[in-house]
Structure 1
Amino acid sequence: MKHENPHHKHSHPHSEPQHAHPSGGHAAHTGHDKHAGHTPEMFRDRFFVSLLLTLPILYFSEHLQDWFGYRAAQFPGSAWVNPVLGTILYFYGGLVFLKGALRELRARTPGMMTLIALGITAAYGYSLAVSLGLPGKPFYWELATLIDVMLLGHWLEMASVQAASRALEELSKLMPTTAHRILGDRIEDIPVSALKEGDLILIRPGEQVPADGVVVEGASTMNEAFLTGESRPVPKEPGDEVIAGAVNGEGALKVRVTRTGEATTLSQILRLVQEAQASRSRFQALADRVAGWLFYIALTLGTLTFLVWLALGRDFNFALSLAVTVVVIACPHALGLAIPLVMVNATALAARHGILVRNREAFERAREIRFVALDKTGTLTEGRFAVRAIYAEEFSEEEVLSLAAALEALSEHPLAQAIVEAAEGKGLPRPEVRDFQAVPGKGVEGTLEGKRYRVGRPEWAEELGLRVSEALKRGLREAEGRGESAVALMDEERVLAYFALADRIRPSAKEAVQRLKAMGLTPVMITGDAEAVAKTVAQELGIERYHARVLPQDKARIVRELKTQGPTAFVGDGINDAPALLEADLGIAIGAGTNVAIEAADLVLVESDPLDVVRALLLARATYAKMVQNLFWATGYNAIALPLAAGVAYPLGIVLSPAVGALFMSLSTVIVALNATLLRRVRLD
């Protein structure tokens, strides 16, 4: 089953497994990420320090003294308070934006960082020139408030969405750190990194497999759900392959190592995750696209303003001051808050509905989704077995269930627990068991009321040559046709009953599929389970498109193919889902899944309820709409302010002074803030 296995806890999180990449996927992920290496705390600290530096700058600002009709205190050197504080602010508060701008320009994708860097550099450079003797009024107050608001915006955004991706660390933790190597008649414990191809190792019951290999001796079952998505334990006998990270069941196995380190299946998934992270980060967010356009507009209009006024015979200082005003005004304060304020409200609303947002771009990607690919085990189903049918002759269902549950109560097997739960659900008595014995890879046996009974795989009955009636054979064929796991109850001579066990479908899965269709989306089921299982579940849920027997590396490939037909979301919960979660335009992890899936996802559904997928997509659409509205309010005033600042209406005696520009700016910031809070009114049910 796809719940994180308790045995995983034994691996040491701090030890460096043999295939852990020191750089992790983090470097790959952050190639185009404006927040590479940033933390909310860094923005918070810079914001508060910058705010303190801003207060004296505002007090000594010539513009503010003119507007509010006061005179700042004069003392020797008072004229240098603003240039000194402005310089500190530019390099301390603005450095993060300057570095970000360099990254964006190197990647040839100017965005928010480049626009802010342009605005503060123009304001700082011009102001310093004025302080050193150029005629004009400095823009230190504009520089300071712009840096403050942008730091605040980035802090709010990062605090609401902590998007550090630790998927690779989580994957690395899954590997055991030691292996038991067999040398002749003795066993030695060695680090997994020292294993070589061809080594013979011992895997005890309940332990994790340290490397890929082939069983040489012994019989057991393995829990491989974390990797393959196959919900039932897989029997292992000599000649069968085992995969690193799988958990051994009830029997001890001797295994010949075939692949170690980088070559193991788990390491290959690690690599897939890294590649997917690298390609995923090339998405340029909406605000960055808008900021990119504004950057080009500011540069073009600023240059044109300067050249046109010079050509019209105005002096250099006049042309320069108008050009700088244009560039500074083009970077609106409200733009820095337009998206973060929506994110703060969206993440709060999402959290109220049990949806955790790990990546702000999720909302932007989600609005266009056409296909929703859903993993079966643990997502549409609970990843827990239940008894669907009992096929019995001569005995009542209650009698055979009571006998089977008495034996299975002493077994650790997941199928055994399902039979015990079914008996407890009906309140059946449990006869006392004597001489209990577990037979690895077969089942269990014991004496009940003086008679010997066995419960186990149907193949065990064949090996023992027991009689099976035609009616029971029909029942077994029906269970196998549905892809269910069959368990046989036998006495010394014949099979008494078959129990058909199936992975339980989540109660809300059917409604979720119907609502996705009603939203115009196409649900597609992807599973590692057999064709028969997939077909049965798909029919019950009303899903027309499904893929069965899908290997972990193929999930990401199927998602890639779906993406060629339209934007695709993927919903999953296992390690094997991590590459597909990253490959999809929107990755949604079910909260009861593994940490790796959660780390690879954009959104996490805490309640493991498929209906939350619908809620998440509705919220994403509403959030995106609010983002667009806010960007309009944040930048819309530029349509009027920029031409006026450039002096288009100068012949009429109208030039946009920084004062009026500041008023426009404050107004758009207030509208943006109010509009963002309206998101909380969205109904998701």
Structure 2
Amino acid sequence: MPEHERHHHDVHTTQEHEHHADQDNHSGHGHHGQGDHGDHVGQFRRLFWINLVIGIPVVLFSPMFGHLLGYNVPDGALWIAPLLGTVMYVWGGWPFLSGAVGEIKARAPGMMLLISLGITVAFFASWAATLGLVAADLEFWWELALLVVIMLLGHWIEMRSLEQTTSALDSLAALLPDEAERLDGEDIVIVTPDELKVDDVVLVRPGASVPADGEILDGRAAMDESMITGESRPVGRGIGSSVTAGTVATDSGIKIRVTASGDDTALAGINRLVAEAQSSSSRAQRLADRAAALLFWFALAAAVMTAIIWFVVDGPETSVARVITVLVIACPHALGLAIPLVVSIATERAARGGVLIKDRLALEAMREVDVVLFDKTGTLTKGSPAVTDVVPVGEYTQDEVLALAAAAETPSEHPLAKAIVGAAQQRGLDISRPAEFSSSPAVGVSAMVNAQHIQVGGPYMLAEAEREEITVAKQWKTEGAIILHVLSDGEVIGGLKLADEIRPESYDAVKALHKLGVEVVMITGDAEAVAQNVGRQLGIDRIFAGVRPEDKSAKVAQLQDEGKKVAMVGDGVNDAPALAQADVGIAIGAGTDVAIASAGVILASSDPRSVLSVIELSRAAYRKMKQNLWWAAGYNLLAVPLAAGVLAPIGFVLPMSVGAILMSLSTVVVALNAQLLRRIDLTPENSTASVLAA
């Protein structure tokens, strides 16, 4: 009977590799909410384009702008700028005005309040000038239009950089099957996982996900629990064993009795941890907001002092004119673009280098990281078993032992069987077609290969054959490896060592991080022996082994309590809470959707050296942010006192027109400076090589 038919024939007959899992030698094993980014992106995109179209006639038909360029606005068109300018103030300015109200209520003045102050002063001063209530040179319709358009552009870019395309919680829910097969006597009833209750009996077919936490009543299967526990190899589960919702029965069907469903499952617990960690991390303060808050108080203090001094020196009309000029100039054109432009260009440049930035807070924080916490399975290692050593006995060679084992394993679909066959194919060995293939749960497989009776299995197979394990097996046990023996006609002809293979790139990644002064820590659900072996080979500074999924985020918090800035790199559901808890969560792009959704940074490849690219990008982007902030805020710090008339005693007061031109120039400088980020080469190879060569 073909293997795929035998799976459905009997829940007991396709368990030929339970011995692989059960061997005794490896036992013990901010301002914008997370959910509304998309709405903000669409809102600011629409507002920007509409207000850009409206803003062009506002600028062209603004009398003061015409005066600056040497032309006069026709009398019949004098009301175009005021009317369209009012539309821009109310419609285009609404996000900033409503945001300012929020900042006032929170008693946390920032960018929104500073922008609102500038456009509101410009709006009322312009109407006063249009109606002849104040001097004509206080007409700022063109400045209002530029201010609204530039700020909408800056916030559109900002929101786009914060947009999250997937939901961590939706990804967690997707691990559960859409349907469950509940047994009512002899009948099978199709229900949703939500409909299951404690003590219901459910059939889980080969390759299917477990719909609820439960206990196995009948059958035995190799369970893939890697998405929950991080364990790199399938774990044997039999009658009486507990199984977790979301795990997969890889090779055989089982019947389970539901012990927990819905919100009581382990998966739901991980869900809650992710939600809690994400909500707490979103309250981090943004760099530009801090600068805007300081600038707000600076502008307000300057305006008050200007009003008092000019009222005393030259009367109320001059005082009002100077105050309006100060407040309009104080509005941060360049500051509104300083951070979003850098983030936008940095994220675009990073994407070309295989690094996807979802959260700019993560990009900002990465430069300060002093601990990188790697999940082992699928991150530092390949996440799948591989043959790492073959030791022949007697006259046999390595290739002969491997070829015979691969031939016997060919009919099996078990991950370890695939690893053995794959190793033989990689060496270019000739794999014979087996005959009389059979398997025995918890023992091994056997087949006739070239007239030889070949057996491949673990300790139970050796016990049945009354044979001793090979000498090197004792050393392999201390390393936590999976050990299989190969027998020919009842005699041991060799041993196979299988382990989760370390990625070649991991060695350089660890060395480069050490050179940067960053501590490297590894965390895994695997047994202590397995973890220590990998850590020893890579030179890991600290190892957390045998960590349950619900405890991974606690380990991150433990490191943070030690005063460390932690970046967590992982790829599984079990990593999701830790990714969200870390100062920077970095997901391997080949991992699960929930890990990707919980992280602020995603590595498109599985190359751990990409972490160096993120650090380099973070440091370069931060330098540009600081430069742009100093330039943008520096302009205001210089222009505001000049507009207030600090040099009036020597006969110089900054004209409004000159201040506006300088303001536009500062925006251009900020934009050009951000473009320099495009020169960085963010390929993992280059980033790591440059660090090691330094």
* TM-score, with length taken from structure 1: 0.90
Give the structure 2 partner of residue 154 of structure 1: 155
Is 1:679 the counterpart of 2:680? The answer is no
Give the structure 1 partner of residue 277 of structure 2: 276
- Write the distance in 2 (CA, Å) between the matches of 1:162 and 1:348: 14
What is the letter of the counterpart of residue 517 of structure 1?
Answer: H
Is 1:505 the counterpart of 2:506? The answer is no
What is the letter of the counterpart of residue 536 of structure 2?
Answer: Q
Deviation at 1:87, TM superposition (A): 1.4
Give the structure 2 partner of residue 467 of structure 1: 466
Percentage identity across aligned positions?
46
Is 1:329 the counterpart of 2:326? The answer is no
User: Kindly tell me: are residues 371 and 383 of structure 1, through their superposed partners in 2, closer, same or farther at Cα, counting changes over 3 Å?
Assistant: same
Helix, strand or coil: the match of 1:180?
strand
Deviation at 1:632, TM superposition (A): 0.9
Contact 1:569/1:586, CA 8 A, preserved across alignment: yes
What are the superposed Cα offsets for residues 301-340 of structure 1, whole Å, 9 maximum, x if unpaired?
2233223433x16433332222222222112211122122
Give the structure 1 partner of residue 146 of structure 2: 145
User: Kindly tell me: are residues 252 and 164 of structure 1, through their superposed partners in 2, closer, same or farther at Cα, counting changes over 3 Å?
Assistant: closer
What are the superposed Cα offsets for residues 444-503 of structure 1, whole Å, 9 maximum, x if unpaired?
3333345544323434544xx32222xx25333222210111223346756543311011
- Write the distance in 2 (CA, Å) between the matches of 1:102 and 1:476: 71
User: Kindly tell me: are residues 552 and 93 of structure 1, through their superposed partners in 2, closer, same or farther at Cα, counting changes over 3 Å?
Assistant: same
- Write the distance in 1 (CA, Å) between the matches of 2:494 and 2:390: 7
Contact 2:568/2:579, CA 8 A, preserved across alignment: yes
User: Kindly tell me: are residues 194 and 106 of structure 1, through their superposed partners in 2, closer, same or farther at Cα, counting changes over 3 Å?
Assistant: same
Q: Is there any run of 5+ residues in structure 2 with no aligned partner, and where?
A: 1-29, 687-694
Give the structure 1 partner of residue 544 of structure 2: 547
Contact 2:453/2:490, CA 8 A, preserved across alignment: no
User: Kindly tell me: are residues 105 and 474 of structure 1, through their superposed partners in 2, closer, same or farther at Cα, counting changes over 3 Å?
Assistant: farther
Is 1:517 the counterpart of 2:518? The answer is no
Give the structure 2 partner of residue 577 of structure 1: 575
Deviation at 1:243, TM superposition (A): 0.6
What is the letter of the counterpart of residue 571 of structure 1?
Answer: V
Is 1:630 the counterpart of 2:653? The answer is no
What is the letter of the counterpart of residue 343 of structure 2?
Answer: M
- Write the distance in 2 (CA, Å) between the matches of 1:60 and 1:189: 69
Contact 1:342/1:626, CA 8 A, preserved across alignment: yes
- Write the distance in 1 (CA, Å) between the matches of 2:583 and 2:292: 23
Residue number among 645, 648, 668 corresponding to 2:646 in the alignment: 648
User: Kindly tell me: are residues 533 and 547 of structure 1, through their superposed partners in 2, closer, same or farther at Cα, counting changes over 3 Å?
Assistant: same
Contact 1:31/1:278, CA 8 A, preserved across alignment: no
Is 1:660 the counterpart of 2:658? The answer is yes
Deviation at 1:441, TM superposition (A): 5.1
- Write the distance in 1 (CA, Å) between the matches of 2:454 and 2:467: 15
CA RMSD, 1 decimal:
2.2
Helix, strand or coil: the match of 2:472?
helix
Helix, strand or coil: the match of 2:232?
coil
Contact 2:505/2:608, CA 8 A, preserved across alignment: yes
Residue correspondences, number = 650
Contact 1:373/1:571, CA 8 A, preserved across alignment: yes
Deviation at 1:180, TM superposition (A): 1.2
Deviation at 1:161, TM superposition (A): 5.4
Is 1:43 the counterpart of 2:44? The answer is yes
Contact 2:31/2:283, CA 8 A, preserved across alignment: no
Helix, strand or coil: the match of 1:508?
helix
> 1:122-271 counterparts in 2 under 5 A?
122-136=121-135, 137-159=138-160, 162-271=163-272
Helix, strand or coil: the match of 2:585?
strand
Give the structure 2 partner of residue 537 of structure 1: 534
What is the letter of the counterpart of residue 583 of structure 1?
Answer: Q
Give the structure 2 partner of residue 489 of structure 1: 486
> 1:278-357 counterparts in 2 under 5 A?
278-310=279-311, 312=312, 314-357=314-357
Give the structure 2 partner of residue 101 of structure 1: 100
- Write the distance in 1 (CA, Å) between the matches of 2:362 and 2:435: 58
Helix, strand or coil: the match of 1:637?
helix
Give the structure 2 partner of residue 386 of structure 1: 386
Deviation at 1:522, TM superposition (A): 0.7
Give the structure 2 partner of residue 416 of structure 1: 417
What is the letter of the counterpart of residue 557 of structure 1?
Answer: A
What is the letter of the counterpart of residue 564 of structure 2?
Answer: G
Deviation at 1:222, TM superposition (A): 0.6
- Write the distance in 1 (CA, Å) between the matches of 2:219 and 2:387: 29
User: Kindly tell me: are residues 59 and 430 of structure 1, through their superposed partners in 2, closer, same or farther at Cα, counting changes over 3 Å?
Assistant: closer
What are the superposed Cα offsets for residues 354-399 of structure 1, whole Å, 9 maximum, x if unpaired?
1112122222111111111111111111112211122443343333
Helix, strand or coil: the match of 1:608?
coil
Deviates more, 1:191-200 or 1:155-164: 155-164
- Write the distance in 2 (CA, Å) between the matches of 1:165 and 1:309: 56
- Write the distance in 1 (CA, Å) between the matches of 2:666 and 2:615: 29
Deviates more, 1:430-439 or 1:148-157: 430-439
- Write the distance in 2 (CA, Å) between the matches of 1:99 and 1:461: 75
- Write the distance in 2 (CA, Å) between the matches of 1:34 and 1:90: 28
Is 1:610 the counterpart of 2:605? The answer is no
Contact 1:467/1:494, CA 8 A, preserved across alignment: no
Contact 1:398/1:428, CA 8 A, preserved across alignment: yes
User: Kindly tell me: are residues 160 and 488 of structure 1, through their superposed partners in 2, closer, same or farther at Cα, counting changes over 3 Å?
Assistant: same
Deviation at 1:98, TM superposition (A): 2.1
- Write the distance in 2 (CA, Å) between the matches of 1:105 and 1:217: 63
Residue number among 521, 524, 528 corresponding to 1:527 in the alignment: 524
What is the letter of the counterpart of residue 372 of structure 1?
Answer: V
Deviation at 1:121, TM superposition (A): 1.8
What is the letter of the counterpart of residue 116 of structure 1?
Answer: I
User: Kindly tell me: are residues 299 and 574 of structure 1, through their superposed partners in 2, closer, same or farther at Cα, counting changes over 3 Å?
Assistant: same
Give the structure 2 partner of residue 396 of structure 1: 397
- Write the distance in 2 (CA, Å) between the matches of 1:285 and 1:536: 42
Contact 1:250/1:440, CA 8 A, preserved across alignment: no
Helix, strand or coil: the match of 1:435?
strand
User: Kindly tell me: are residues 260 and 30 of structure 1, through their superposed partners in 2, closer, same or farther at Cα, counting changes over 3 Å?
Assistant: farther
- Write the distance in 1 (CA, Å) between the matches of 2:577 and 2:351: 25
- Write the distance in 2 (CA, Å) between the matches of 1:261 and 1:461: 44
Give the structure 1 partner of residue 83 of structure 2: 84
> 1:48-63 counterparts in 2 under 5 A?
48-63=49-64
Deviation at 1:56, TM superposition (A): 1.9
Deviation at 1:30, TM superposition (A): 6.4
User: Kindly tell me: are residues 109 and 551 of structure 1, through their superposed partners in 2, closer, same or farther at Cα, counting changes over 3 Å?
Assistant: farther
- Write the distance in 2 (CA, Å) between the matches of 1:439 and 1:476: 22
- Write the distance in 2 (CA, Å) between the matches of 1:153 and 1:478: 61
Deviation at 1:345, TM superposition (A): 2.6
Deviation at 1:436, TM superposition (A): 2.1
User: Kindly tell me: are residues 308 and 163 of structure 1, through their superposed partners in 2, closer, same or farther at Cα, counting changes over 3 Å?
Assistant: farther
User: Kindly tell me: are residues 649 and 452 of structure 1, through their superposed partners in 2, closer, same or farther at Cα, counting changes over 3 Å?
Assistant: same
User: Kindly tell me: are residues 278 and 579 of structure 1, through their superposed partners in 2, closer, same or farther at Cα, counting changes over 3 Å?
Assistant: same
Deviates more, 1:298-307 or 1:116-125: 298-307
What are the superposed Cα offsets for residues 546-571 of structure 1, whole Å, 9 maximum, x if unpaired?
11111112111111121232211111
- Write the distance in 1 (CA, Å) between the matches of 2:555 and 2:660: 52
Contact 1:212/1:260, CA 8 A, preserved across alignment: yes
Contact 2:371/2:519, CA 8 A, preserved across alignment: yes
Deviates more, 1:174-183 or 1:438-447: 438-447
- Write the distance in 1 (CA, Å) between the matches of 2:632 and 2:208: 58
Deviation at 1:258, TM superposition (A): 0.8
